[in-house]
Structure 1
Amino acid sequence: MTQARWVILAAGGSAALLLGAFAFQHLGGLAPCKMCIWQRYPHVAAIVLGAVALFVPLQILIALGALAALATAGIGAYHVGVEQGWWDGPTSCSAGAINNLDPDALFDQIMAAPLIRCDEIAWQFAGLSMAGWNMVISLILAALWIAALRVRPTSA
């Protein structure tokens, strides 16, 4: 397979994941949490890098595409850990500790909490949340970017 086809598959996969996320949000009514939004940025970068790499086939662009896919997979893994309670998430979108809080401080913490929390699973399929699926598919996309790196571009 040509390098361009690997790049199209990898960048197209990021585009498909983004479209899926927007469909869940706008058609399915599942508003994203802060960490869900964070996972979208590397996909946008991968799409842009893929588009540019099709016209300017530089290996560095393809390597950066792989890095973008790995970055979103890493954020997804972190998000899964927050959802599962393995570690604390950002205090701006997760349940905070209530130790040593007086009732007024606890009320202020509750009122400041976002409507969409990062530590709650809004949707899951086959035991994986959306963050988990993003992680798994993004690792596959990273492998596609790496496959593109292994194929040298053909000159015209």
Structure 2
Amino acid sequence: MTRPSDLYALALEHRLPLVSGICALGSIVVVSSAWGFQLIGGYAPCELCLEQRIPYYAGAPVALLALLLSLKAPNTKLFTRLLLIAFALLMIYGGGVGGYQAGAEWGFWPGPDDCSGDVGGAVNDAASLLSSLKTIQIVSCTDVQLRILGLSFAGWNVVTSAGLAVIAFWAALVRGRKA
């Protein structure tokens, strides 16, 4: 029977590829979920929602590079750790944006004044402005479109970003017998 301490020792020994893979997969799942809610569920993102995706767009390739290096070039442990730290910092930024939006949704502070949706393209005259207003879907950053277990999309982004940041920092900074 495997003891929990044995599992921890095994995870510690292989933490760089393990966590790099988890971070890459986590980023891909989060962005895919956001796109799924948008395209299939019909939930239009606001400006802050779109900004919260950027760390995942950047983080997935960073984590994949860390995974590749940890598997194919084990002598690059320092660079792999630096990539995981960069990934964690991206997640902290994204979680911060999510926290700001979640706080605005709960009314703890005002949301951004310019968070009102995409006007979509250039408008040359008043007639085209009026006709374009019929098709524009304006999404406020302070209106919650859906809550799952009490948290909005922004709230879940905070949880996910924090979790990914913690494990990325753990893998990068904790020393073990092997890295």
- Report the TM-score, using the length of structure 2 for normalisation: 0.71
Q: Kindly indicate whether residue 73 of structure 2 is the aligned counterpart of residue 51 of structure 1.
A: no
How far off is 1:63 after superposition? 0.5
Q: Per the alignment, do residues 31 and 131 of structure 1 end up closer, same or farther by CA in structure 2, a change over 3 Å counting?
A: same
| d(CA) in 2 for partners of 1:28, 1:64 | 32
| d(CA) in 2 for partners of 1:82, 1:141 | 23
**Contact 1:11-1:46 within 8 A present in 2 as well:** yes
Tell which deviates more after alignment, 56-65 or 1-10.
56-65
Q: Kindly indicate whether residue 40 of structure 2 is the aligned counterpart of residue 27 of structure 1.
A: yes
Query: Which residue in 2 is equivalent to 1:115?
Result: 138
Q: Per the alignment, do residues 84 and 75 of structure 1 end up closer, same or farther by CA in structure 2, a change over 3 Å counting?
A: same
Q: Kindly indicate whether residue 154 of structure 2 is the aligned counterpart of residue 148 of structure 1.
A: no
* Structure 2 unmatched ranges of 5 or more: 1-10, 71-78, 117-132
How far off is 1:154 after superposition? 6.1
Q: Kindly indicate whether residue 93 of structure 2 is the aligned counterpart of residue 80 of structure 1.
A: no
How far off is 1:123 after superposition? 0.7
Measured against aligned partners, the alpha-carbon deviations of 1:91-134 in whole angstroms (never above 9, x if no partner) come to: 1115xxxxxxxxxxxxxxxx8x9711101001111111010011
Tell which deviates more after alignment, 10-19 or 53-62.
53-62
Over the matched positions of the two proteins, sequence identity in percent amounts to 33
| d(CA) in 2 for partners of 1:151, 1:47 | 24
**Contact 1:4-1:148 within 8 A present in 2 as well:** no
Q: Kindly indicate whether residue 28 of structure 2 is the aligned counterpart of residue 15 of structure 1.
A: yes
> Greater RCO between the two (CA within 8 Å, min separation 6)?
1
| d(CA) in 2 for partners of 1:153, 1:41 | 35
Q: Which has the larger radius of gyration?
A: 2
| d(CA) in 1 for partners of 2:43, 2:166 | 29
Q: Which runs of 4+ in 1 moved over 3 A?
A: 151-155
* Structure 1 unmatched ranges of 5 or more: 95-110
Q: CA RMSD in A?
A: 2.1
Q: Per the alignment, do residues 21 and 65 of structure 1 end up closer, same or farther by CA in structure 2, a change over 3 Å counting?
A: same
- Report the TM-score, using the length of structure 1 for normalisation: 0.81
Query: Which residue in 2 is equivalent to 1:133?
Result: 156
Q: Per the alignment, do residues 63 and 5 of structure 1 end up closer, same or farther by CA in structure 2, a change over 3 Å counting?
A: same
Q: Per the alignment, do residues 138 and 90 of structure 1 end up closer, same or farther by CA in structure 2, a change over 3 Å counting?
A: same
